[in-house]
Each structure stands twice: as C-alpha cells, then as structure tokens.
Amino acid sequence: MKVLKNFLYNLSYQILVLILPLITVPYVSNILGAKGVGDYAFTFANVQYFVLFGMVGVTLYGNRQIAYVRDNKEKLKNTFYSIYSVQVITMLISGGLFLLFAFTFTDEGYRNLYLVQGINILAALIDISWLFMGLEQFKKTVLRNTIVKLLSLASIFIFVKNIDDLVIYILILALSNLLGNLTFWLYVPKVIGIKNIRIKGLAGHLKASIALFIPQIAIQVYLLLSRTLLGVFTDTIQVGYYENSQKLVRMALTVATAIGTVMMPKIANTVASGDMDKVKYYIKNSFFFMNFISIPLTFGLLGIAKELSPWFFGKEFEGIEKLIIISCVIILAISWSNVFGTQLLVPLNKTKEFTLSVTAGAIVNLVFNLILLKRMGSIGACITIVLAEITVTSTEMYILRKFLDIKELIKSVIIFFPAAIIMFIIVRIIGVNMGAKILTTILQVSIGGLIYLLSVFILFRIYHKQNLVGYLKEMLKS
C-alpha cells in the first residue's frame, strides 16, 4: 500500500510538472523568443557542470544509503550528517571554481546571466531531497515542490513581460529552486534529529559517492553537452530550438518515470534484506507499469507534434516539430534504462556496470555531436541524444541478461504496442483533418487516450485472461 500511496503522490506532482510547462512554455517562447530561450539554456547548462561536480554523485548515493539504513535510527542520523558533510565540502569547492569561471572566463554580455544562474549552486548546496527519497517520504517532497512551482508560475506571468526580462526569468527559476530546497530543512529536526550528531567515515562516503559520480558525469555529458556544443558550433538560436524540443519530450518523460522514483529506494531496502526474488518481482512490475505509460506517450507525442508545435511554441520556432518527432524515441529508451539502471544496477551496488552503460552512451553522444552538430544543428543534436539513450539501454540489458529474463519482460508488455499504434492512427486522422490549433491537440489527446485505454483493456483480457485494473491494483499494493 505504501508503494501505491507514494506513487500517487509522485504521479500527482509529475502531472503538475506536465501541466505547468503547457502554460509557461508558449508564453516564455513568445516573450523571450528563440534567442532568449537559447541564452537561458546555454548558461544554465554550463552552470549545471559546477552543480554536477559539487554534488559528486551524492544524490544517487545518498538516496541508496539512506534506504539501506532507514530502519536503524542511529545509523540513519549518522549516515545523513556524514554524507551531507561531504556534500557541503565539495559544493563549496565547486562554488569557488564557478566564481573564478564567471569573473575570468565568461563573455561580459553573459556575465550577469551566469551570476544569477549561480543561485542554482547555492540551491544544490542545501539540497537534501535524497534523504526523503531514501526514506520513501514522498508526501513532503511533493507538497514542497507543488507550492514552489505554483509561486514560480505566478511570478513568471507577473514579472516577465519582454526579452529584456531574461535575467528576471532566470532569477525566478533559480530562487524557486533555492526556496524549495530550504523548506526540506524544516523537517530535519523531527525526521532525523539534531542532537548527538556524529560525523564519521567522510573519506569512505566520498569514495563511494565518487564511484557513482563517474556515471553521473557521463549522464550529464549527453544531457548538457549538446546544448554547450550547439552554442559553440552554431548559435544560441539553435540551442533554443533544441531546448524547447527536449523540454516537451521530457515533460512526457517525467510522467513515465514517476514510478521509478518511488521504486528505487524500495528495491534498495529489499536488496539490503537479501530477498533477490522479491527484487525481481518488483522489477517485473515496475517494467510493466513503466511501459503501460511510456509506450502511449511515445506514440502519442509522435502523433500530435505536427499540430501542436505551431500554436504551442509560436512562429519563431517554426519547424521544431521535426526535432520533437526525432526525439520521441528517448521516452521509451529512458523509461527502460530507468528500470534496468537506476532501479536495479544502482541498488544492487553494481556501480562499475552502471558506469559502463552510461559511459558508452556519453561516448556515442560526444562522437556524433562532433560529427553532426556543425552540419545539422539542432536536428543533429536530437539524432545524437536518441542514439546515446538507445546505447545506454542496450548496454544495461546486455549486462543484466543473466539476472533477468529480458525476453520474458518484453513479452509481458508487447500488447501495449498495437494499442499505441491504433491510437497513433486515430490521432493522425484527427490532425490531418483539423489542422494546427489548440482544439485539435485537445481532441487528439483525449480521444487518443481513450482509444489506447480501451484497446489495452481488450488486448490484456485476450492475452492474459484477466482484468487489467485488478492486475494493476495488485501490483501497486505489493
């Protein structure tokens, strides 16, 4: 029942995350234009390198370690404060390097943007979301994020009026991040306690977090590097096109991977108990549910992209639907790698194997970025990210081939594909006949969703000889 409750909390937040950009992205795209969006994405990506190096894998490592020891209050307290001490030390070093970068190596026209983006480094310094994820206390993170997101939304509409307000836009997003992370500390005295604090084993925690830091670097290479290289090889307008296309795809992805955020600490806790059969059972259920959501999202976004883009992004982003169509594949690829990598390899402490998979993706990303970006711009960046994500997922599947029955897992979700294809055909018929307008998108999403659900219920009954609703309820309660 706890998994169901945590999933519903997390899903409700992910739906909010999905809805808010539907409101803000069209507004910001029209106000700031491709140049403004690109300048934001370019500077944000470069600041995130300092956040990445400062966090040295603490988010993933802390989440896992808290899940391991959460049943022992004393160990929990010591583990939390020791890991956070590592985070403070490394973030302060990274913050110093950022200031050196901002005042020494940045173009004067971008300096103010970088300094405002630097607030995100302060936000990372006080970020302890990994504690509550490891404890599976998702209600706190969801409520906190919901309030902050709504405040951020209101501020954007009130204060961002033209392209000259780019600094204000960046400031709003950075301060909302900082405020959100500050609120976590309100819960620490009650959840962890502040008496009899022992800080020990810093070297051990640093070494272990660095081991997870290496794959985090590889992951960020193909999340951030395309934006950086696009800005270097082409211009920030191409970065703006790429940023908005990825933003839309990853909006869908947040919903698809909502179950993964909940399952990772649960599986880690089960690994600590030594029950590997239960771990496999959880992975099977998570993979099924992930595909139930991610497959229709992949085909659905593919189907609505052509009619959605003109009214959603505005005239300055004409042709962006090509980037969205290319990028749709990563919804499915990342959903699978979330199950195999984050939910399984990390809890199993198979850090080397996890590193291998994401490093392979980073290498593919770097090589194809260097080949395609100058010639193809943002289209080349989208092709590259797809190839990188497929590489990561394929590598993880190969690594886990002896631990999991991969063929059986894929066989269990095969019914979702014909249902999604039927939905795609209906969605395209609606789009071709109605043209690019908001009413078209609303009808495509609502009718397409109903067609998919109806098709899945019928196919599941035929294929598995049981009711899908009952199956999902049983799965989420386990």
Determine whether 35 is exposed, middle or buried from the number of CB atoms within 10 Å of its CB (0-12, 13-18, 19+).
middle
Contact 271, 34 (CB under 8 A): no
pLDDT (0 to 100) of residue 15 = 64
Residue 211: both structure tokens together: 């081991």
pLDDT (0 to 100) of residue 6 = 60
Question: If pLDDT is split at 50, 70 and 90, which confidence band does 55 have?
Answer: confident
Question: If pLDDT is split at 50, 70 and 90, which confidence band does 464 have?
Answer: confident
Residue 427: both structure tokens together: 């969605």
Give the mean model confidence (pLDDT) for residues 138-153.
Answer: 75
User: How many Cβ atoms are within 10 Å of 411's Cβ, its own excluded?
Assistant: 11
Radius of gyration (C-alpha) of the chain in whole angstroms: 22
Q: What is the pLDDT of residues 376-431, one digit of tens each?
A: 999 999 999 999 999 999 999 999 998 998 998 998 889 999 999 999 999 999 99
Phi, psi of 415 (to 5 degrees): -65, -20
pLDDT averaged over every residue in the chain: 85
Determine whether 405 is exposed, middle or buried from the number of CB atoms within 10 Å of its CB (0-12, 13-18, 19+).
middle
Residue 3 pLDDT more than 60? no
pLDDT (0 to 100) of residue 57 = 73
**205/453 Cα distance (integer angstroms):** 46
Q: Give the dihedral sign, CA 401/402/403/407.
A: positive
Instruction: Kindly report which listed range (38-47, 96-105, 462-471) carries the lowest average pLDDT score.
Output: 462-471
Instruction: Kindly report which listed range (55-69, 146-160, 276-290, 305-319) carries the lowest average pLDDT score.
Output: 55-69
Instruction: Kindly report which listed range (7-21, 159-173, 419-433) carries the lowest average pLDDT score.
Output: 7-21
**108/11 Cα distance (integer angstroms):** 42
Residue 271 pLDDT more than 70? yes
Question: If pLDDT is split at 50, 70 and 90, which confidence band does 188 have?
Answer: confident
**264/56 Cα distance (integer angstroms):** 19
Q: What is the pLDDT of residues 280-324, one digit of tens each?
A: 888 888 898 889 989 999 999 999 999 998 888 888 888 899 999
The Cα angle at residue 114 between residues 109 and 115, in degrees rounded to 5? 110
Percent share of the chain, pLDDT over 70: 86
Question: If pLDDT is split at 50, 70 and 90, which confidence band does 13 have?
Answer: low
Question: If pLDDT is split at 50, 70 and 90, which confidence band does 467 have?
Answer: confident
Range among 123-137, 181-195, 404-418, 456-470 rated most confident: 404-418
Range among 62-71, 117-126, 333-342 rated most confident: 117-126
Residue 2 pLDDT more than 60? no
Reference 364, options 341, 383, 340; nearest CA is 383
pLDDT (0 to 100) of residue 380 = 93
pLDDT (0 to 100) of residue 307 = 94
Please report, as a single letter, which amino acid is at residue 468.
L
Question: If pLDDT is split at 50, 70 and 90, which confidence band does 22 have?
Answer: low
User: How many Cβ atoms are within 10 Å of 90's Cβ, its own excluded?
Assistant: 21
Give the mean model confidence (pLDDT) for residues 222-243.
Answer: 83
